[in-house]
Amino acid sequence: MNRLHETQTEAQRTIAKHVGAYPMWISGEVDESRWDDLVRKFSELYETDISASARQWRKRRNACCAHLIGAPLPRGKIRWILMVTADGEGEVKRRERLRDAHDARMVWGDYMLVRATRASALGGGTRWTWFLAPHVEHREARYLAKVAQTAATHRQPSQLSAFADTLLKRPLHSGVRQQVARMLRRAQRVWMKHAKGMPWPGPDPGALPHIGRYRQVIAPQG
């Protein structure tokens, strides 16, 4: 599969869908003008363009398979990732310095892909989902708490609601949604301490929308 998505969020969905079977990876960025060359190179070397039935044929013969996934960035760049099956041998494993998503987390801009444990109330088990990278989460959480204190002290709730809106414009994958809810709960505590009874102007941390349901916008990707 060679697939260039229109948005980073769509690419993230595809990556999360396939990482269980294709956990080996490398990634990079390329100029838009070089994307077709990259597709041609990986198709010729690693057969990323073959059909599903051809991939099954390769697997039966202990040969690995690969997918190439990309999405546009600002300033004429494309972010890409090459995903490879753990089982089987092939040219891609001899040529490339592949990482394993179980040990070296896939990073996509501000986000990283994690195999997380699902709450028992939701059926238990594990699933792959995207989280904000730790440094991004800490940066956003600190800033939101600062905005909550300033907005409450000066009685300017629109300052807080405006920044909360930017958080909800991120792709709210399950992991990201958990992190944003945690940030909002912390900001609520700061707000209540300084707002002198003024109602919380932000979203309910316990009722955040799922990915793609808040607003039809291109999410910040970093």
Tens of pLDDT, residues 87-97: 999 999 999 99
Q: For residue 179, what are its two tokens?
A: 């992190």
Boundary residue ending a domain (108, 124, 157): 108
Please check the confidence at residue 121 and state whether its pLDDT lies above 80: no
What is d(CA 142, CA 144) in angstroms, rounded to the nearest whole number?
A: 6
Q: Which residues contact 46 (CB under 8 A, 6 or more apart)?
A: 66, 82, 84, 90, 91, 92
Candidates 124, 120, 103, 123; CA nearest to 112 is 103
Question: What span, in angstroms and rounded, lies between the C-alpha atoms of 98 and 103?
Answer: 11
Residues 43-75 pLDDT 10s: 999 999 999 999 999 989 999 999 999 999 988
Question: What are the tens digits of pLDDT across the range 150-203?
Answer: 999 999 899 899 999 888 988 899 899 999 999 999 999 999 999 888 999 989
Could you tell me if 42 and 105 are in contact, meaning their C-beta atoms sit under 8 angstroms apart?
no
Q: Considering the domain boundaries, does residue 219 fall inside one?
A: no
* pLDDT at residue 219 is higher than 80: no
Same domain (yes/no): 101, 140 = no
pLDDT value of residue 96: 95
- The structure tokens listed for 195 are 């707002």
Locate 137 and state its tokens. 């989460």
Tell me, what's the pLDDT at 117? Answer: 78
Give the relative orientation of helices 157-168 and 174-194 as an angle to the nearest 10 degrees. 170
pLDDT of residue 74: 87
Q: pLDDT confidence of 208, banded at 50, 70, 90?
A: confident
pLDDT at 31 over 70: yes
Query: Residue 89 phi/psi, 5° resolution?
Result: -110, 165
Contact 124, 132 (CB under 8 A): no
- 212 within some domain: no
* 128 in a structural domain: no
H/E run at residue 60: helix 52-60
Q: Determine the Cα angle at 122 with ends 117 and 126, to 5°.
A: 25
Residues 75, 141, single domain; the answer is: no
Q: Helix axis angle, 174-194 relative to 134-153, nearest 10°? A: 30
* Domain span holding position 36: 2-108
Q: Are residues 6 and 101 in the same domain?
A: yes
Using DSSP's 3-state secondary structure scheme, residue 76 falls into coil
pTM: 0.82
- Could you give the residue ranges of the DSSP H alpha helices within 77-194? 91-95, 134-153, 157-168, 174-194
Give a yes or no: residue 61 inside a domain.
yes
CA dihedral 14, 17, 23, 28 (to 10 degrees): 10
Which tokens sit at 46?
Answer: 């690693």
Q: Determine the Cα–Cα distance for residues 151 and 140; give it in Å rounded to an integer.
A: 16
pLDDT band at 82 (very low <50, low <70, confident <90, very high): very high
DSSP structural state of residue 89: B
178 CB burial (10 A radius; 0-12, 13-18, 19+): middle
Q: Which residue has the higher pLDDT, 197 or 84?
A: 84
Question: Is 87 in the same domain as 181?
Answer: no
Give domain status of residue 123, yes or no. no
